[in-house]
Structure 1
Amino acid sequence: MIPVRVGVFGLLGSGNLGNDGSLQALLGYLRAEHPDAVVDALCGGPEAVASRYGIPATRLHWYRGEYRTASRAGAIAAKGLGKLVDAVRTAAWVRRHDVVIVPGMGVLEATLPLRPWGFPYSLFLLCASGRLFGTRVALVGVGAAAIGARPTRALVRWSARLAAYRSYRDALSRDAMRAMGVDTAGDEVHPDLAFALPAPPPGTPPDPSAHPRPVCVGVMDFHGGDDDRGRAEEIHRRYLDGTTRFVRALAEEGRPVRLLTGDACDAPVVAAILDAVDSPLVTAAEVTSLTDLMKETAAADTVVATRYHNLVCALKTGTPTLALSYAAKSDALMGRMGLAAYCHPAREVDADRLLEQFRALERRSPQVRQTLAERNLVAARQLERQFTALTAALFPGTDHTTARQEAA
């Protein structure tokens, strides 16, 4: 029997831990359910993906300066040429596969600054090539949001329409695609793929009389979304000032604080907070994966975080969590896990109000931990259904559910 050729696609291996965690969860599913599949990637950081996950990987863009601002004529011409070359390269890569999967990630949204001829164009090339060559392209557990810029919206809408399979990580994403003119009648909603990752063993519930466990504060190089470019620096200053004041207040109360990141670009924010607070109680964690993040959040009393997958990791480990929410996806995630009351706007961080919410959350810590344990069991069952649906849609010749039942 000829093995199925599976490609994975996205900004993977580029420093974003959430994207790589989605890939890790997908590879876990493929290795468990389809061990004979031949897997490779077309991605942003092929060297990192190949070394970390043991699969062959090809660079997403021909032009290596794709994500640098082009001001000189030569760089502008190279970028333009790169778009043409990428169309050919992407089509040739897609044609070699039976199935291509885009694992998780916010590939159908513009909640952070985004240019249409960047990743939206790459995703459109992928989905159009899949339709052209009969390769099934699946957008699995992806995030979506309403997009104002017309070129970006058009590319995202057509990418979704051309995909053979779609599922979303929340109902808001499905609703957004429906509002943008995509027929979502057959599309399902399941928890974020990162909830399928194994969590570290649960720690002992915190003892108030013992040495205090840390508060994890997940920070982000946040400048607003795609529609906030005109006031990006103002938003960033307000976010950094409010978060710094919150961390300082915890340190002054004698609380240990661990600063977490979710992307390589967050390092300057960590450095700025450490410099401003200047306390031995405030330290920065070195994390290179969602597994590392989960170990940090599992050891914490409480987590306050901005990045979406910082929140996922904290919730997955059952740690009471407060979201510095920068997009509706964060509010939806917190609501799904029973913590809708513990969201604070990242664009307008008010340190005093944030401290009030934080203390209210800590007072309910035992009840919150119980709620998260229950919600995580529900998420695990829902993701089992996601993977069963994915097998039925992309690997129709294999009935692994029946095989497992017969083996039992």
Structure 2
Amino acid sequence: MTPANRTPVRVGVFGLLGSGNLGNDGSLEAVLGYLRTAHPEAAVDALCGGPEAVTTRFGIPATRLHWYRGEYRTASRAGAIAGKGLGKLVDVFRTAAWVRRHDVVIVPGMGVLEATLPLRPWGFPYSLFLLCASGRLLRTRVALAGVGAAPIGDRPTRALVRWSARLAAYRSYRDAQSRDAMRAMGVDTARDEVYPDLAFALPAPRASAPPDPSAPPGPVCVGVMDFHGGNDDRARADEIYRRYLDGTIRFVRALVAEDRAVRLLTGDECDASVVAAILDAVGSPLVTAAEPSSLADLMKEMAAADTVVAIRYHNLICALKTGTPVLALCYAAKSDALMTEMGLGAFCHPAREVDADRLLEQFRALEKRSAELRRTLAERNLAAARRLDDQFNSLTAALFPATGRAHTSRRAP
């Protein structure tokens, strides 16, 4: 309880939240769970991409990240270009005014310090810089908690990301290579810690019994993505997409030929077109599509499967969290690092160069080692939960020193 004479701590959460990306919203859910357990007195609201969705789902007030409503549409006409330009100026004052109302702002996970997918410097990197600069000027503590980072080739984007990190009051990363990337970009990371991704703090569905080796093979979940490469791949984006899609279709057809049921999963609203293309190309009742609206939905699907093959980073986390053996189509080094950390480093396949025959070989090898890998994942998940308790205690010490309260674990049994 907050004493009557004390104003509740005002906490803001910031990011591309409520915009259709399940991984981003899962990171927010984990941080809200921490705040409600460790700091129930805190008054929490958001500055985010999809305020209506955040308020509806999470029950907190939310403000639109951008003044200009057409921010995410391509501007080709003079009016739209002028609107975007004006919006960048207005957002300076809007962001500062929002930051000023808070004691603490948390950026909950996400790959906010990377450009492994197409990204323009005047988009989210600019918004993040405004947040961190406002925090420094107005003495509001900004925390980049469990974020992802990667080397960035584009100089304006790299500069905005570097200065955002430098201006933040607290930084932690979801893997060691993220911290290394920020150090290489000139950020002093001596006091920065590495913890598992925040999504590992979410409750997982009760694990199902391991597959019976004498029973017929069970369903396979295939997580898909509207994948066109990264920031440096724009010249060959269509080629990368076609190769990824063709390889995935061939792989699904091979599973169907063996009478395996396949469940297609997404991680963002934009992935629906890929699901439709696979369903149309394969044309089998054995292939069905789920409509997940959260990481919890994804975990339920994956817990019921024998095996998972996935490309999106948080789809991989959901499979790992449920203890289901997973084969990763890796589009960035973060996926390789995650799989290695969880003991499945041998089961990675390049998303830009999908070879259906090689993918099928790896899939069969994965299934042969299913029982062993499930035991490994159970051990690694326990270790991840302990490390995330440390992450939340670190956040409390850095951002809420007056409360003197440590985080209490709420691990699912």
- TM-score computed with the length of structure 2 as normaliser: 0.97
State how far apart, in whole Å, the 1-side matches of 2:128 and 2:407 are.
34
Paired position in structure 1 for 2:3: none
Task: For residue 262 of structure 1, give the secondary structure of its aligned residue in structure 2.
Answer: coil
Q: Which of 94, 97, 102 is 1:89 aligned to?
A: 94
One-letter code of the match for 1:379?
A
Evaluate the alpha carbon distance shift between residue 403 and residue 193 of structure 1 in structure 2; reply closer, same or farther with a 3 A threshold: closer
Q: Whole-Å Cα distance in 1 between the matches of residues 359 and 300 of structure 2?
A: 25
Aligned to 1:136: 141
Secondary structure at the counterpart of residue 228 of structure 2: coil
Residue identity in the other structure for 1:337: M
Query: Is 1:338 the equivalent of 2:343?
Result: yes
1:116 aligns with: 121
Tell me if structure 1 keeps the 8 A contact 2:396–2:406. Answer: no
Inter-partner Cα distance in structure 2 for 1:15 and 1:117? 21
Q: Residue 174 of structure 1: CA displacement?
A: 0.1
Secondary structure of the structure 2 residue equivalent to 1:63: coil
What secondary structure does 2:308 align onto? strand
Aligned counterpart in structure 2 of residue 274 of structure 1, from 269, 279, 284 = 279
Identity of aligned residues (%): 83
Give the 3-state SS of the residue equivalent to 1:138 in structure 2. strand
Quote the residue 1:209 is aligned against.
214
Aligned partner letter, 2:191: G
Matches within 5 A, 1:383-402: 383-401=388-406
Within the candidate set 159, 163, 172, 2:177 is matched to: 172
CA distance in 1, matches of 2:407, 2:123: 42
Distance 1:310 1:403 in 2: 27
Checking the alignment, whether the CA contact within 8 Å between 2:34 and 2:407 is kept in structure 1 is no
Once the 2 structures are TM-superposed, how far is the Cα of residue 211 of structure 1 from its aligned partner?
A: 5.0
- After superposition, the Cα gap between the structure-2 partners of 1:403 and 1:333, relative to the gap in structure 1 and judged at 3 Å, is closer
Listed as ranges, the matches of 1:198-277 within 5 Å are 198-210=203-215, 212-277=217-282
Distance 1:226 1:61, change over 3 A: same
Which 4+ runs in 1 deviate beyond 4 A? none
Q: Which amino acid in structure 2 is aligned with residue 237 of structure 1?
A: R
Q: 1:403 to 1:214 in 2, by over 3 A?
A: closer
Distance in 2 of aligned mates of 1:326 and 1:76:
32
Secondary structure (helix, strand or coil) at the match of 1:283 reads: strand
* Matched residue, 1:352: 357
Deviation at 1:210, TM superposition (A): 3.3
Post-superposition CA distance 1:103-129 (Å, at most 9, x none): 000000000000000000000000000
Shift of 1:2: 1.3
Partner residue in 2 for 1:127: 132
Deviation of 1:42 after TM superposition, in Å, equals 0.2
**How much is the aligned-residue C-alpha RMSD, in angstroms?**
1.0
Q: Is the contact between residue 109 and residue 198 of structure 2 (CA under 8 Å) also seen in structure 1?
A: yes
Asked if 1 retains the 8 angstrom alpha-carbon contact of 2:174 and 2:196, the reply is yes
Change (3 A) 1:402 1:103: closer
Q: 1:65-122 deviations in whole A, cap 9, x for unaligned? A: 0011000000000000000011110000000000000000000000000000000000
Map of 1:312 onto structure 2: 317
- Length-normalised TM-score, structure 1: 0.98
- Answer yes or no: is 1:58 the counterpart of 2:63: yes
Match of 2:334 among 329, 333, 339: 329
Q: Counterparts of 1:403 and 1:333 in 2: how far apart (Å)?
A: 26
Question: 1:403, CA displacement in angstroms?
Answer: 9.3
One-letter amino acid of the structure 2 residue matched with residue 92 of structure 1: A
1:32-63 deviations in whole A, cap 9, x for unaligned? 00000000000000000000000000000000
3-state SS of paired residue (1:400): coil
Maintained 8 Å contact 2:38/2:408: no
Specify the SS of the correspondent of 2:406: helix
Counting matched residue pairs gives 404
The amino acid across from 1:182 in the alignment is: V
Match of 2:43 in 1: 38
> Does the 8 Å CA contact 2:38/2:406 hold for their aligned counterparts?
no
Give the Cα–Cα distance (whole angstroms) in 1 for the partners of residues 256 and 348 of structure 2.
Answer: 22
Alpha-carbon distance between aligned partners in 2 of 1:37 and 1:399, rounded to the nearest angstrom: 14
Unaligned runs of 5+ in 2: 1-5
| Match in the other structure for 1:99 | 104
Instruction: Name the SS of the counterpart of 1:116 in structure 2.
Output: coil
Contact kept in structure 1, 2:146 and 2:197, CA below 8 Å: yes
> Which residue, 162, 171, 191 being the options, matches 2:167?
162
**Residue 40 of structure 2 corresponds to residue 21 of structure 1:** no
Say which SS state the counterpart of residue 205 (structure 2) adopts: coil
Shift of 1:212: 3.7
Decide which moves more: 236-245 or 201-210: 201-210
Q: Which amino acid aligns with 2:135?
A: G
What are structure 1's unaligned runs of at least 5 residues? none
- The residue identity in structure 2 corresponding to 1:217 is V
Q: For 1:389, what is the secondary structure of its paired residue?
A: helix
Tell me which amino acid in the other structure corresponds to 2:205: P
Q: How far, CA to CA, are the matches of 1:113 and 1:367 in structure 2? A: 37
C-alpha offsets along residues 180-206 of structure 1, whole Å, 9 cap, x if unaligned? 000000000000000000000011111
Q: How far does the alpha carbon of each residue in 1:275-333 deviate from its partner, in whole angstroms, 9 at most, with x for none?
A: 00000000001100000000011111000000000000000000001000000000000
Assess, with a 3 A threshold, how the Cα gap between structure 1 residues 403 and 302 changes in structure 2: closer, same or farther: closer
- 1:197 is matched with 202
